[in-house]
Amino acid sequence: MEEVELVCTDASALVEAIGSLAVRGAPLLGIAGAYGVALAAARGFDVPEAAQALEGARPTAVNLSVGVRRALAAYEAELAGSGEPAAAAEAALAAARALHRQDAEASARMAAHGLALLGELLPGGGHRILTHCNTGALVSGGEGTAFAVALAAHREGRLRRLWVDETRPLLQGARLTAYEAARNGMAYTLLTDNAAGSLFAAGEVDAVLIGADRIAADGSVANKVGSYPLAVLARHHQVPFIVVAPLTTIDMATPDGAAIEVEQRAGFEVTEVMALQAQVTGAGGGIPVAPLGTQAYNPAFDVTPPELVTAIVTEEGVVSPVTGEALAEMCAAATG
| CA atoms of 24 and 35, how far apart (whole Å) | 14
- Asked whether residue 335 carries a pLDDT value surpassing 90, the answer given is no
The catalytic position among 193, 213, 251, 302 is 213
Identify which of 225, 244, 235 has the alpha carbon closest to the alpha carbon of residue 205: 235
Please identify, in words, the CATH class of the domain defined by 11-103.
mainly alpha
Q: What per-residue confidence (pLDDT) applies to 283?
A: 52
- Asked whether residue 89 carries a pLDDT value surpassing 60, the answer given is yes
Mean pLDDT of 211-237: 98
- The amino acid occupying position 162 is L
Fold of 105-263+298-335: Rossmann fold (3.40.50)
Q: Rounded to two decimals, what is the model's pTM?
A: 0.93
Task: Please write the tens of the pLDDT for every residue from 258-314.
Answer: 999 999 999 999 999 876 665 555 555 688 999 999 999 999 999 999 999 999 999
- Asked whether residue 109 carries a pLDDT value surpassing 70, the answer given is yes
Query: DSSP for 121-164?
Result: H-TT--EEEEE-S--SGGGSSSS-SHHHHHHHHHHTT-EEEEEE
Residue 209 burial by Cβ neighbours in a 10 Å radius (0-12, 13-18, 19+): buried
pLDDT band at 124, cuts 50/70/90?
confident
Identify which of 252, 309, 298, 253 has the alpha carbon closest to the alpha carbon of residue 275: 298
Q: For Cα atoms 257, 263, 269, give the angle at the middle one, nearest 5 degrees.
A: 135
- Asked whether residue 336 carries a pLDDT value surpassing 90, the answer given is no
Q: Is 206 a catalytic residue?
A: no
Task: Please write the tens of the pLDDT for every residue from 238-267.
Answer: 999 999 999 999 999 999 999 999 999 999
| CA atoms of 89 and 44, how far apart (whole Å) | 9
Domain spans of the chain?
11-103, 105-263+298-335
